Structure 1
Amino acid sequence: MPRAKARAFPALLGALLLAGCTSAPAPRAAEAAPAPAAVPEIRPGVPAGYLTAAAIPDSLALVPAPPAAGSAALAQDHAVMKAALALRGTPRFQQATQDADLDFPFAAGTFACALGVGLDAQHTPATVRLLQRTLMDAAISTRAAKERYQRTRPFVENAAPTCTPNDEAALRGNGSYPSGHVAIGWTWALVLSQVAPERTDALLARGRNFGESRLVCNVHWQSDMLQGRFMASGTFARLQADPVFRADVAAATRELADARAQGLPPGRDCAAEAAALAQPLQGAL
C-alpha cells in the first residue's frame, strides 16, 4: 500500500538551500570507498551530495525558458496533463503516490524490483549511500531554473487533486520547471545502471516511469519532466570525475552482486508495481 505521507520536495530543497552544496574530501586512494562516518551531512542523518557547488551543472544556463503561451510545446503539455488526469483512482495513480516519497529508508526500494534485489542500509550500505548522496546532487542541479522561472504547477491551473494533498501548499510556492523529482529518479536510474549494467533496460524503464509519475501526480508538466531528465544526465556525467563517487560505485557493484547471490528479496510487491506501470500515459515523451 502507498505511504500516507510523501516527503515534500520543497522541504528537501529548503534543506539544500540552507546547507549549500559540499563534497567529501577525496580519499588518498580513489578506489577505496570512504567509511560512512566520513560522509558529510547537511543535517543529522541526511548526507550531503558528492559534488561541490561549482561542479554541479547550472540549469539556468542549460535549459530553455518554459514553453511560451500559444506554443506547440505548451499545447503538448496540456494534452499530456489531460491524459494524466484520466489515471486518477487507478493503480497507476497509487504508484505515483509511492514514487513521490523521497524519504529513506522507503525510497531506497524504489528501484528494487528493477534491480531484482532488495536495498537497505544493513545489506547494501554503499548502494543506499549512492542513492542518498546523488539525490542531493540531482536536486540542486534544478535549483537555479526553478527559482528564476517559478512556473505554476498543473494542479494550481486545473484545480484537480494531486497524489500528495498534504504537500500542495508547499508546492504552490515552489517552481515546477524543471522537475527535481524527475532529475533525482533519472540520476538514480543512470547510477544504478552503472552499478548493475546487466539490469540497464529494466532500470532505465523504471527511471522513465518514475518521472512520468510526476505527471500522473498532477504536480508537473511534461516539459518539466523532460528538462529534469536533461539535468540528471548532466549531473551523472559530472559525477564520473568525482573519486568518492567512483569508489562508492565500485563498492555498490560488489555488494549488489553479494546480495543477489544471497537471494535478498526486493521487499516490494513487484507484481503490483508491474501491473500499475503497465497502464500507459498517453502522449508522454
Structure 2
Amino acid sequence: MRNFVAVLAFLTFGAVFTAHAADEAKPFITAKDVDLSQYLPAPPADDSAQTKAEIAELLAIQAKRTPEQEKAAIADAQENVWRFADVMGPGFDAAKLPKLAAFFDRVVATEDVVDDHAKKYFHRSRPYMVSEELHPLLKKSTSGSWPSGHSTIGYLMATVLGDMVPEKRNALFTRAAGYAENRLVAGFHYRSDTVMSRTGAALMAQKMFEQPEFTREYDAAKAELQAEMAK
C-alpha cells in the first residue's frame, strides 16, 4: 500500500478541460469514505493571535506582489491537472491524453465533495472577510477557508502524477507548493489553510488507491501518459 500520508507529512514538516466536465465527473470517493472533519484540527479563531499574524502576512504579500505574480495566481485559479504542464512537458495535453483527462476530472470531483464537507463543517472565514484591507485578485467566495480546496487538489494531483511518473515527483510537489502559494498571492487563503491541505490530499490519495475502480482507471491513464512521454 502506498503510504501517502507519511510522504506528505514529511513534506509538511521538512489545452484545458472545462469546469463543466469536472462537475459532471463521478467522484472516486466521498466524505463518507474520508471525513476530514474527523482528521483535521479546528482552525484558529478569527480573533486569534495566529489569524492576526496570518492576516499581516497576507497584507505584506499583497503590498509586494508584482504583475507577473498576480497573473500566475489568477491562472492557477484553474483546478485541473494541465496546470502541471510546465513540469510534465509539451506532450502533456488534454487532446493527446483523453483517458488521463477523464481520470483527473474524477480526481478533481473527488476533492471537491470531500473538501466541501470539511469547509462547511469548520466554516472558517476567508481572509478578506476578516480584513477589509485585503483585496483578492479573484471573484470572492463565501465558502469556508479551511482547508484550501485549490491547495488540496494541487497536492492530490502531484501525488497521483508523481506515482505515475516517479522521476518527476519532486518537481511535481514543488509545483504543487507554488500552486498553493498562489492562493496567498490571490488573497484567498491563510497559509495554515494551505498547509492543512497536505494532510487532506494525503488521506484522499490513500483511500482512492484502495478502490478497484480507481486502480483500473489509473492504470489506463498511466499507460496512456507513459506512451505519450516515450514519443
How high is the TM-score relative to the length of structure 2?
0.82
Structure 2: runs of 5+ lacking an equivalent: 1-15
Aligned residues: 214
Match in the other structure for 1:54: 32
Contact 2:183/2:189, CA 8 A, preserved across alignment: yes
Match of 2:194 among 196, 206, 225: 225
Alignment of 1:172-183 (within 5 A): 173-183=142-152
Larger Rg: 1
Contact 1:119/1:128, CA 8 A, preserved across alignment: no
Contact 2:85/2:93, CA 8 A, preserved across alignment: no
Counterpart Cα distance in 2 of 1:78 and 1:42: 32
Q: Is the alpha carbon distance of 1:82 and 1:159 closer, same or farther for their aligned partners in structure 2, counting shifts above 3 Å?
A: closer
Measured after TM superposition, the shift of residue 212 of structure 1 is 1.0
Alignment of 1:151-170 (within 5 A): 151-156=124-129, 157-164=131-138, 167-168=139-140
Residues 1:147 and 2:147 are matched in the alignment: no
Letter in structure 1 aligned against 2:199? F
Identity level (%): 29
Letter in structure 2 aligned against 1:119? F
Match in the other structure for 1:99: 76
Match in the other structure for 1:242: 211
Counterpart Cα distance in 2 of 1:209 and 1:115: 15
Contact 2:22/2:109, CA 8 A, preserved across alignment: no
Match of 2:102 among 120, 129, 136: 129
Cα root mean square deviation, aligned: 2.5
Match in the other structure for 1:282: none
Please identify which structure carries the higher helix content: 2
Residues 1:213 and 2:182 are matched in the alignment: yes
Contact 1:155/1:161, CA 8 A, preserved across alignment: yes
Match of 1:90 among 67, 71, 88: 67
Structure 1: runs of 5+ lacking an equivalent: 13-40, 263-285
Measured after TM superposition, the shift of residue 144 of structure 1 is 2.7
How high is the TM-score relative to the length of structure 1?
0.68
Q: Is the alpha carbon distance of 1:133 and 1:42 closer, same or farther for their aligned partners in structure 2, counting shifts above 3 Å?
A: closer
